[in-house]
Structure 1
Amino acid sequence: MKKIYILILISLSEILFSQQQDYSLYYKLRQNYENYPENDQRAFSYLRKYIRLAKKQNDSDHLVQGYKDGIFFSPLKEDKLKYSDSAISAAVLSKNNDLISNAYLWKGIIYYFNYKQYKSALNEYLKAYEYSKNSKDDFLKNGILYHIGVVKSYLGYYQEALNHFEEAKTNFKLKSEENVHPNLIYNNKKGYYNSLHRVIVCYRNLHNYTMIDSLISTGISQTQNNKEFDQEYGYFLKEKGIEEYRKKRFPAAIKSLQTSLRPITHINDFAWATVNYFYIGKSYMEMNNPSNAIFYFQKVDSIFQKQTFILPELRENYELLINYYKANNNNDRELYYTKQLLKADSVMSEDFSYLSSKVHKEFDTKTLTEEKERLEDAASKGFWIIIGLITFALILLLVLIIKYKSEKRARAHYKILEEKILNSNLQLTVKKDSPKLKDDEKIIINENIVQDLMIKLQEFEEKSGYIESGLTLHKLARKFNTNSNYLSQVVNESKGMNFNRYLSELRINYITNKLYNDKVYLNYKIETLAEKCGIASRTNFSNLFQEINGMRPKDFIKKRNEDLRNSHGS
């Protein structure tokens, strides 16, 4: 028995020693290449041995790691995709849901970063999410959350994407502050900075600029002069340049955008590089330097030719090129970029159908097709030239007629408004058919209370209390030390309208007076004008302005500017 016991101990020792040797061999092989930079083929002289050993030992965990290393060090995207498929197969054999989830996530990242195939990427991310539901690996779960947000962002679901990025940002930040292995801290910090960058991008596309400056400053201050986060520093600098462009600081915008190009192009992130080129070009255009502007716009097209990829926000790049060559009577270049825009629309519609429908198209598909045919016909001789010219003349005539009628209506409404303003007659419009309270709906209110509320309403109107943002019937009633039912009835009976309509007309009349009498207001954006009179929504403001004044605010501003120029000229 003693001999058998000793033999068992010897056998177990040999097994343990063998496993330790195998583990040590994996570790030693990986030490030879793990510090090589991404896409470095030198790693494969050791990596192939690592994968062979894992296959020989039927070691799924190490085999998955070997294939993941293959993804990281392969310079060709086709090889990266092959290694990702192998990683998934090995992970499935391991029956380890975390490994399977991670493998699907990597394949999604390849589709997103290397191929820019967002639908395919999302499919892989969703598979990764399914396998990660019961995972305790927070980094994996945050990574999936982040990448699903990336795809939603590119598809145009910015609000949904923002929710993902905000959650991932918070989680990554908390994990980066834990007392764990330095590699985990680094990975979580990288996740935090990338999520922060995406939050800024979403706010920009949602036209919510309130927090952007502080978020950009946070990102730049924490990544500047830090080689580990050079890529992320480039992204924050890119957003700083775009924000400087929006604020019309064009030289500063060019400087930030050009500086950010180095870390972005270093990792071959051609998607964000095209955004840089586009805004550099727009900055030069605003500085009356069209030659430099066109150079950068053409760089965007060059990447589109090579990658067959373009972001929806860069559609304007082609519109600017078309307009430039049209103004310079260069039919060949105008035709070329018209074709490129049609091709870009076709590419975008496949993955960006939601966002494409939201993009303002100065050249819609039908018009672009007709214009393309006209330009092609212009290159030939004889009959088709005449047909093309006639078609163009008819279209131009139709456009001019529509524009003339629109201008005439706008001018008529403007004159009516101008007369009211000059006569101090911008008043509440009591409609004859406005609903009145029935007798059985009325509350009996003491006459003294009614008189008190009438005085307070008059003071409220005189002091422009209605421009307070978020003002409601209940809030105003509290300010008047009365109840909302009393106030509602007094407004209804004295003003001939309900409270919401009363508030809307006061606000629109206020901003109409400001636009007419204060030149500063003519320079404000529609969003700012809405805020100035207490209306939260840009769309709601524009609709109310048209409903009450008979014309859109942008048309009123245009007519007022024309009048001012004419008066100065005379």
Structure 2
Amino acid sequence: MIKRILTLCLCFFTSFLFAQDIYSGLRNKYWGFEENDERAFVYINQYINKAKSEKNYSELFQAYKDAILFSKDFKIKYADSAVSAAKLSGKNDLIGDAYNSKGAIYYFNHRKFQFALNEYLTADEYLKDSKNELSKYQNIYHIGVVKSYLGYYDEALVIFKQCISYFETNAKRVLHVNTIYNNKKGYLNSLHQAIICYQALGKNNEVKRLLKLAEASTPKSKDFNLEYSYFKKSSGVADFTRKDYSQAINDFNASLPGLIKVNDFTWVSYVYFYKGKCFTNQGKLELGVENYKKVDSIFNKHQFILPELRSNYEELINYYKKQNSPENELYYTNQLLKVDSVISSDFKYLSTRIYKDHELLEAKENLEKTNSFGIALLIIFGVIIILLGLLVFYRNRKQKQIQQKYNELLVKIDHDKLPDQVVESLIFDENKNVKLDQNIVEKLLKDITAFEANEGFLERGLSLKKMAEYFKTNTSYLSQVINEYKGSNFSTYINVLRINYATQKIYHDKEWRKYSIEHVASASGFSNRQSFSNIFLEINGIRPVDFIKKRIKELESID
């Protein structure tokens, strides 16, 4: 009897190993094909049929996941099948992996961030307690990408540093060749995303360090052509920052074939935009416009654009304004409004979900786990009621303070009337403590008056040195005149002009009240929304988001 049981066990074990060998054998036959090469389906379909016939749902999930990689036009279809197979397996790790893969398709292939985030958050629920570290870190990586897109670069960097550490360590371990490959991909992609964040934050030394690391770490094989293209793209941006426009164009040209091959239209449009900026800065305006138009063509096709590329349309509008071509100027103005609408919609949805659903997910789960503990639950409810009471109290008090500051700001707006008032010419005053020749001072006062009238303060990245160059003087002379005649240093002077401009625009122009804070900051000359919001609060006593809300409410009550 024992001998018979042992024989059956041996037969079962042999059969199991044989089945696994067949699955592995089928995968080995197509794994060497490039992504989107549909010749792989000769073997993938065999894989799918065998897994179905054996009701081996774990292998069926793997087959559909492979089908996603090699399909050109039906990636979402195979992703849905992978989700179904994973659910039939009853394994949370596979279900989370399936939702993660579906989110990656929405992000990478379609740039539908809202759909992608929904899938990532669903995957997060299944992977929260998973021991599959690779899937968990892949999910964390994707949520970091969304945070980076929203402009939360410091928060995203924390995530990408964790991913770099994890993927780098596991890429060096003795693991299955496919696992090593996935970890190597994860490591390089995390490096790329970290570089994006550092470039956005202006930390050029970190960018330089990671680009060197990327160059040394990227294998010279076709499997990593896309990663090579990403790093060439980032190198081009670094060259652009250093004003080495010729080298930047070379790097951008080197990055394009790999990006175009996989139809990564987001980064393709990004490259075209920066190529356009390079040509424009070299004085080759027609070549610049040619590249800006390529960005518009991609936007028309996919209805997606990175927020950083919004100024692409400002370049085109300004170009055709100078060309006296109102038809083209109107077209690109309308395109800019569409771009603002798309970006604004994405920002509003994503920023709400990523914090309400992702950041609070753990708190929600912990609360649900305590439902069986009546006493603890009563205590929690009591604390919540107290907190809500305090929240309502402080909220009401804050709203009263905001209303008071808003009323004070209305008085200031009515007094200044900046949009309707011609800028007053500055007049030489011998009582001012400026130790310069009168002719020099009068020329600078004239230049400053023209500068304000032409709204030159809206230029992003404006510095005292650059302004002095515009006026054909030196920084010492200009600084003295501004300090005496404007009563502040250069930085404060520019900030006050910008904030007054933004305040008046928000108050008088309904289109400005539709913009996100990021857009208002950019249009007012600020490099980021945080500094704009802080300076707006410092000068006006109220944050721009509260000012916009109050103005909208005020107009609604009038209507």
TM-score with structure 1 length normalisation? 0.63
The more displaced of 294-303 and 21-30 is 21-30
Q: Equivalent residue for 1:505? A: none
Shift of 1:183: 3.4
Distance 1:187 1:550 in 2: 51
How far apart, in 2, do the equivalents of 1:136 and 1:273 lie?
A: 37
CA distance in 2 between partners of 1:89 and 1:205 (Å)? 39
User: 1:247 matched to which residue of 2?
Assistant: 242
1:489-500 aligned at under 5 Å gives the runs none
- 2:114·2:350 contact (CA, 8 Å) conserved in 1? no
CA distance in 1, matches of 2:288, 2:14: 67
Q: In the alignment, which residue of structure 1 is the partner of 2:274?
A: 279
Return the letter of the residue paired with 1:408: E
Out of 407, 424, 429, the position equivalent to 1:408 is: 424
Distance 1:546 1:180, change over 3 A: farther
Instruction: Tell whether 2:32 aligns with 1:35.
Output: yes
Q: Which residue of 1 aligns with 2:168?
A: 173
Note if 1:264 corresponds to 2:259.
yes
Residue 360 of structure 1 corresponds to none
CA distance in 2, matches of 1:214, 1:550: 33
1: CA distance, partners of 2:290 / 2:342 = 23
- Tell me the equivalent position of 1:153: 148
**CA distance in structure 2 between the aligned counterparts of 1:337 and 1:520, rounded to whole angstroms:** 29
In structure 2, how many angstroms separate the alpha carbons of the residues matched to 1:523 and 1:135? 60
Residue pair 2:34, 2:223 contacting (<8 A) in 1 also: no
Aligned residue type for 1:47: I
Residue in structure 2 matching 1:130, options 120, 125, 134 = 125
**Distance between the aligned counterparts of 1:159 and 1:551, measured in 2?**
25
Q: Which residue of 2 is the match for residue 320 of structure 1?
A: 315
Matches within 5 A, 1:440-451: none
Query: Does the aligned pair in 2 maintain the 1:156–1:354 contact within 8 Å?
Result: no
Once the two structures are TM-superposed, the CA of residue 23 in structure 1 deviates from its matched residue by 2.3
Which segment drifts farther, 269-278 or 206-215? 206-215
1:16-415 → structure 2 map (5 Å cutoff): 16-76=13-73, 79-223=74-218, 225-353=220-348, 402=418, 407-408=423-424, 411=426
Q: Is this contact kept in 1: 2:157–2:194, CA < 8 A?
A: yes
Q: 1:418 to 1:97 in 2, by over 3 A?
A: farther
Give the structure 2 partner of residue 430 of structure 1. none
Letter in 2 for 1:156: G
Distance (Å, rounded) in 2 between the aligned partners of 1:419 and 1:336: 50
Q: For the Cα contact (< 8 Å) 1:168–1:192, is it kept in 2?
A: yes
1:30 Cα deviation from its structure 2 partner:
2.3
Change (3 A) 1:6 1:246: closer
Residues 325 and 271 of structure 1: is their aligned pair in 2 closer, same or farther, counting only changes over 3 Å?
Answer: same
User: Which aligned runs of 4 or more in structure 1 are off by greater than 6 angstroms?
Assistant: 415-418
Structure index of larger Rg: 1
CA 1:27–1:186: 2 relative to 1, 3 Å: closer
Amino-acid identity (%)? 43
Task: State the match for 1:439 in structure 2.
Answer: none
Q: Which amino acid aligns with 1:58?
A: K
Secondary structure at 2:31 match in 1: coil
Q: Give structure 1 stretches of 5+ with no counterpart.
A: 357-400, 424-514, 534-541, 558-570
Q: Distance in 2 between matches of 1:405 and 1:355?
A: 40
User: How many residues are treated as equivalent by the alignment?
Assistant: 398
Q: Could you tell me which amino acid in structure 2 is paired with residue 15 of structure 1? A: F
Distance in 2, matches of 1:226 and 1:31, equals 18
Q: How does 1:407-426 map to 2 (within 5 A)?
A: 407-408=423-424, 411=426, 419-422=432-435
2:113–2:350 contact (8 Å) kept in structure 1: no
Change (3 A) 1:50 1:416: farther
Amino acid paired to 1:245: F
User: What is the alpha-carbon distance in structure 1 between the residues aligned to residue 490 and residue 252 of structure 2?
Assistant: 43
Q: Distance in 1 between matches of 2:50 and 2:328?
A: 58
Secondary structure of the residue aligned to 2:424 is helix
SS of residue paired to 1:419:
coil
Structure 1 position 224, deviation (Å): 7.1
| In structure 2, distance between residues paired with 1:551 and 1:6 | 89
Q: Is the 8 A contact 1:158 1:202 kept in 2?
A: yes
Distance change >3 Å, CA 209–CA 28, structure 1 → 2: closer
* 1:406 positional shift: 7.1
Q: 1:405 to 1:102 in 2, by over 3 A?
A: same
CA root-mean-square deviation: 3.5
Per-residue CA shift, 1:85-125, capped at 9, x if unaligned? 11112112212121111111101101101111112111211
CA distance in 1, matches of 2:176, 2:143: 27
Q: CA deviation at 1:520?
A: 8.8
Deviation at 1:10, TM superposition (A): 4.6
> CA shift at 1:137, angstroms?
2.3
Give, in angstroms, the shift of residue 405 of structure 1: 5.1
The one-letter code matched in structure 1 to 2:43 is: Y
Q: Which amino acid aligns with 1:419?
A: K
Once the two structures are superposed, residues 216-252 of structure 1 have per-residue CA deviations (whole angstroms, 9 ceiling, x without a partner) of 2222233274544322222122112112212222112
Q: In structure 1, what is the Cα distance between the partners aligned to 2:17 and 2:490?
A: 83
Q: Partners in 2 of 1:182 and 1:199 — Cα distance?
A: 26
> 2:114 touches 2:349 (CA, 8 Å); kept in 1?
no
Q: Which SS does the other structure have where 1:422 is aligned?
A: coil
Task: Report the Cα distance in structure 1 between the residues aligned to 2:466 and 2:316, rounded to whole angstroms.
Answer: 33
Give the Cα–Cα distance (whole angstroms) in 1 for the partners of residues 469 and 233 of structure 2: 27
TM-score (norm 2): 0.64
Distance 1:219 1:84 in 2: 31
Residues 53 and 211 (structure 1), Cα distance of their counterparts in 2 relative to 1, 3 Å cut: same
Which digits, 9 at most, give the CA deviation of each residue in 1:138-167, with x for residues without a partner? 222221111111111112222221221121
2:429, 2:159 → 1: CA distance? 50
Name which of structure 1's ranges 107-116 and 85-94 shifts more when overlaid on structure 2.
85-94
CA contact (8 A) 1:155 1:354 kept: no
CA contact (8 A) 1:265 1:273 kept: yes
Counterpart of 2:288, as a letter, is A
Q: Residues of 2 paired with 1:354 and 1:61: CA distance?
A: 34
Supply the distance in 2 between the matched residues of 1:85 and 1:255 (Cα, whole angstroms).
41
Deviation at 1:215, TM superposition (A): 1.9
Distance change (3 Å), C-alpha of 1:344 and 1:59: same
SS at 2:432's partner residue?
helix
Q: Equivalents in 2 of 1:210, 1:421: separation in Å?
A: 40
Matches within 5 A, 1:2-17: 4-5=1-2, 7-17=4-14
